[in-house]
Structure formats: structure tokens, C-alpha cells
Structure 1
Amino acid sequence: MSTPQLLMIEDDARLAQMVSEYLTQSGFAVSHAGDGASGLAQLQERAPDLVILDLMLPDTDGLDVCRRIRALPGPLAKVPVLMLTAKGDPMDRIIGLELGADDYLPKPFEPRELLARIRAVLRRRAEASAPAAASAHSVMRFGSLEIDRDARSVTVAGQGAELTSYQFDLLVTMAERAGRVLTRDQIMEAVRGRELEAFDRSIDVHMGRIRAAIEVDPKNPKRILTVRGVGYVFAKQQD
């Protein structure tokens, strides 16, 4: 089994060294970049399994780096991104998720929590890449919407829809339970992500991104519906 490769883009050299040593002891190989430009260069030279991305960098901000990663060609655009944000600034987290970050962790943080979140993201990726038991049932169709679980791809009327790995897992979770109302806690548990923090709106942000990718009119969704005060439901009957 190969050692998971992590790229940490962080300008705090002391923090980066501490985290790198901890993650190395936990079975990861960690490379470090002190600014956005060198981080992007390293990523394109050798694609990591996950990027740990600080929001505040000396040459740019993490939001711009995340945006540029998602604009890269091919598999590079789908590299999972875990963003480090300033504690108490939910807007940065929301924007990061909207740009395609898979998760976020406020500073200061416990290395053990960072490790747990990294493992959760990589576990979801590994499970999603495992061969399906019944390949013939890997594609779900709802009108013009097609979700291919094996290929991890989504198309609407034949056009590809861009989703992060986490957003794809959320969509599959909803589609497999079409017609059932799910709470935010149930959705998070189903994708084996982290537990919800109090007043955490990350699911809502991800759902907004999914709607933007698969709905004809995201402001008037027909596929993923909000059940006020409860959660969400994936509509059985669609276009």
C-alpha cells in the first residue's frame, strides 16, 4: 500500500514543520510550500492525494489558490482540498466551500482533529473508487440527470456537471434515498464525514453548489428540495 502524499501550503514555517512531523509519524508523506505560487507549482509537478491549504498566504490568499486548483485540467482539478481558516470567520469558510474546498478547519486546531479530517476525506475517496458490486446498477438516471457512481461523474442533458468529491458523495447519498426527507445530521452521517458543529452551515453551502451544477434554475430547484426546519429531499419525479 503506497504512502498517502499530502501537500501543505502554509507560510507559518514553524506550524508547517510541527504538522508535517505529526502527520509523517501517522503514516503520511508531507511536502511543504510557503506560498501559493510554489504550492501550485508543486501540485502540478506531482499531484498529491490531498492539499492542506492555509487561507492567509504572503503572495495571495487561499481562496484564490483553491479557485486556481479547481480550474486546472484533468484529475488535478479534483484533488481534495482541506482549508485552514481563521477561527470565528464563517464567511471565509462559506466562500472556501463555494469555491470547491472539501472541508475546512479553523485555527488554532488540534493536530489530532486535522488527522481525523484528512483520514475521513481520503477514506471517502478510497471507498468511492472501489469497484461496485453490481456495475450494471452504477448509473442512476432521473430525467436528464445521470449519476455514474463508478466513473464518479454527473451529466445533465449530456453536459458534464462539475462537483467536488465531497459534493458528489452528498449527491449520491441524496439520490440513493430519493423521496426520503433527510436531516443534515443524517446526510453527514451517511457520507461518513465529520460530526456537525453547532450552527454549522456547511451542508447548506454544499447543497447550493450542487444545485448550481445540476438544476436548470438553482433559485427554484426541482431536484433537491429544502424541507424547512428539517433538511432536504431528493425528488423522485424530475424532468
Structure 2
Amino acid sequence: MHERILIVEDQEDINALIAMNLEAINYTVTREMNGQDGLARALNENFDLIVLDLMLPGMDGLQVCQTLRAKEVYTPILMLTAKKSEADRVVGLEVGADDYLTKPFSVLELQARVKALLRRMTLNKQQQTMDDGDLLVFGQLRINKLKRLVSIAGEALSLTAKEFDLLLYLASYPGQVFSREQLLNAVWGYQHSGYEHTVNSHINRLRGKLEVDPSSPQYVMTVWGVGYKFNEQ
């Protein structure tokens, strides 16, 4: 079965161009022209990827992305933006988008980004299936890899997709120190040059949910001048 992709783009010519070129490489495409309709589709149907424009009438792409993640819909999102400022791209990543593409973009780059996101999702699923166990336990902290659930002392934590991926990656290698660049590459898929502070903000939010005292963390530790590690104790 071909992967299903939802395109949410209000410019008809761009919407049609994206659809044509994704269908050309054997993806099944559904098209919407505004944020509200795109959100409704994403909430009520199963897609393997969402191509989401940032600037949409009514409900913009950031609002759509935030709503989906708040409702625990973790379908990979490729954000399209005509804006060139660093802040706009970083905000998109921080509200839960998995990647971004700045207009104008080439068809080959679009296809490559889509393939990379879908390939990474497939590899993640395969890795989870191959793992000997689906549960990591560190004292009162429990991480269920297959169900993507985290709890402390029996109380469930509400994590975004990227917060969970970041925690799982660190916890899979207790004691190993990772630079921000390594985490960005491992969790977001490849290097987003200049956006290492995206890792910092996700670490801070993760600690706010995970740690009793985020200023004195017990699980996700800072290794000054290098990066972060998961406490091997």
C-alpha cells in the first residue's frame, strides 16, 4: 500500500504542483486548501505525512501543528514557509514540525525531504520492533517505547512527539554524552545548521515535565561545554 500524504496549501498552483510530483513517485495524495479543513482531515483520517504551509488563511500552519500535537497526533509534518527569518523556522520546529522547506524550493528537494521523513519513520518503527524489550525502567521512571508512553511513580507524563523521541534517545544510551549537533541529527533527522538552541528549548521543556526540580535535574544532565546525557545512575 502506498503511503498517504496530506497537502495543506492555499495556493492552488503550488498545491497542485506538490501533489503531481508526489504522485509521480507513487504516493497517494489528499489535498486541502485551508487550515481548518486540513486539520479536520488530519484528525479524522490516517496519513503517513503532512505537507503543511505556514501561511494559511484563518488557521495558520503553526496553529494546525500545535493542535495536532496537543491531540496526540504525531504524524510527521513537513512545514512549508515563504518566510526566511530564522525565528519562523525555529518556531515551526519547536511546536512539533519535523522538518521545514523554504519557498521557492526545487521539486527534487521536496521529494528528497518527503522520502527522508518517511524513511526515518519506517526505520524507527522497525527499530522498536527489533528491540528485545519495549520498556525502559529507571527507578520510578518508565518509558514504553512501542506505546510511546512515559510515567513517573505511576503518573503519566504528556510529552510531545519530539520530547518523547529526545528522551528515548538519551535514555537508550545512559551515561553517553551527546552534543547538541548529534541530538539534532539523531532526533530531527539531519543537521539544521544554526538551530542547536532548538535542542536546548526541548531539553528545558522536557525537564519541566520530567524533573522534580528542573534546575537540579536527576535524569537529563548537562555536561558543560559538551552537551547532554541521561543519568546512568
Pair in the same fold by TM > 0.5: yes
**Aligned pair partner of 1:132 in 126, 129, 134:** 129
Alignment of 1:84-163 (within 5 A): 84-130=80-126, 132-135=129-132, 137-163=133-159
Aligned to 1:56: 55
Contact 1:102 1:164 in 2 (8 A): no
Change (3 A) 1:177 1:46: same
Amino acid at match of 1:11: D
Alignment of 1:161-200 (within 5 A): 161-191=157-187, 193-200=189-196
User: Deviation of residue 35 (structure 1)?
Assistant: 0.6
| CA–CA distance in structure 1, aligned partners of residues 188 and 36 of structure 2 | 33
| CA–CA distance in structure 1, aligned partners of residues 180 and 201 of structure 2 | 12
Amino acid at match of 1:19: I
**Consecutive unaligned residues in structure 2, runs of 5 or more:** none
| CA–CA distance in structure 2, aligned partners of residues 62 and 199 of structure 1 | 20
Amino acid at match of 1:33: E
User: Deviation of residue 33 (structure 1)?
Assistant: 1.0
Contact 1:124 1:191 in 2 (8 A): no
| CA–CA distance in structure 2, aligned partners of residues 80 and 221 of structure 1 | 30
Farther off after superposition, 22-31 or 78-87: 78-87
Aligned to 1:230: 226
| CA–CA distance in structure 1, aligned partners of residues 205 and 107 of structure 2 | 29
Change (3 A) 1:124 1:164: farther
Q: In structure 2, the residue corresponding to 1:15 is in which secondary structure?
A: helix
Q: In structure 1, the residue corresponding to 2:97 is in which secondary structure?
A: coil
- State the identity %: 39
Change (3 A) 1:180 1:29: same
Change (3 A) 1:138 1:104: same
Q: How many residues align?
A: 232
Q: In structure 1, the residue corresponding to 2:58 is in which secondary structure?
A: coil
| CA–CA distance in structure 2, aligned partners of residues 199 and 45 of structure 1 | 33
Change (3 A) 1:144 1:194: same
| CA–CA distance in structure 1, aligned partners of residues 81 and 90 of structure 2 | 10
User: Deviation of residue 46 (structure 1)?
Assistant: 1.8
Contact 1:82 1:104 in 2 (8 A): yes
User: Deviation of residue 134 (structure 1)?
Assistant: 5.0
| CA–CA distance in structure 2, aligned partners of residues 67 and 198 of structure 1 | 23
| CA–CA distance in structure 2, aligned partners of residues 13 and 202 of structure 1 | 32
User: Deviation of residue 56 (structure 1)?
Assistant: 0.8
Contact 1:54 1:85 in 2 (8 A): yes
User: Deviation of residue 19 (structure 1)?
Assistant: 1.3
| CA–CA distance in structure 2, aligned partners of residues 200 and 110 of structure 1 | 26
Farther off after superposition, 226-235 or 199-208: 199-208
Aligned to 2:68: 69
| CA–CA distance in structure 1, aligned partners of residues 186 and 112 of structure 2 | 17
User: Deviation of residue 4 (structure 1)?
Assistant: 0.7
Amino acid at match of 2:145: R
Q: In structure 2, the residue corresponding to 1:140 is in which secondary structure?
A: strand
Aligned to 2:38: 39
Amino acid at match of 2:2: T
Q: CA RMSD in A?
A: 2.4
Please list the CA deviations of residues 67-104 of structure 1 after superposition, one character each: whole Å capped at 9, or x if unmatched. Answer: 221233xxx62222222234432222333333222222
Change (3 A) 1:14 1:197: same
